[in-house]
A and B are shown apart, each in its own frame.
Chain A
Amino acid sequence: MSRRRVSFGLIAATFAAALALTVVPLPDSLVWFRPYWVAMVLIYWCIESPEQVGMGTGFTMGLLLDLMTGSLAGQHALGLVIVAYIIGRIRFRMRFFPLWQQAAVVCGVLLNDRIIYTWIQGLAGYGVPDWRIAWAPLVVLFIWPWVFLILDLTRQRFRTR
């Protein structure tokens, strides 16, 4: 790959924005529709700059999320490592997918992530899974093209400077 490296600052800034969007308060009725922002940003960078962002980043961001949101340490980390691994395996194909097809793959990966997450919840004694966890990945199906384009524009903008 002869693509140029993306600045560390840009990657960090997009992850910071994703973390902020994760905790921004939403009305109670919308809580289940909140997209998994950090995973989306992670997926984008795993596709576009795999030299810099991969499982290690997923693990770190996951731990940060666990710290911030009060979940068990390692819970988000485990999910994001798996997301990064899957995307790492299929990213060559994903780069040539049309956006809607990409969105479908991302939605599938995130659904899988939610299933792992609930499974951990179950092991930790949090009882029966809640079917509402499926809403957030479905929302991603519709917003992924936009998120992808926004991140892509941002990246290209910073490259020309």
Chain B
Amino acid sequence: MTQDHPPLTEGVYYILLALFEARHGYGIMQLVEEMSKGRVRLGAGTIYGAIKTLLEREWIEALDGDGRKKEYIITTNGKKIVEYEILRLRELFDNGIRITKGDG
């Protein structure tokens, strides 16, 4: 990919959005399903794999809680990535609307 900010997968995009507030894995799973009105149902293995990759990239971080379940939250870097993705999605959306509905 030659772009500076390659497109995120739908799963990663939603996981990052879910982590604007601290959540554990299951919390992410529930919120993503709710936000997408049941369309995006991420598998537990997929979420866990994504969490590990996002931690490595420092787009999210684990909170040192005393609770049993580990919680995660998005980092400043992660927020930047989401902003770029929103711009990209807007470009796709605008071009789509412009071409399919004239200048709409």
Do A and B pair up? The answer is no
Chain A interfacial positions (CB closer than 8 Å to B): none
Interface, chain B (partner A; CB < 8 A): none
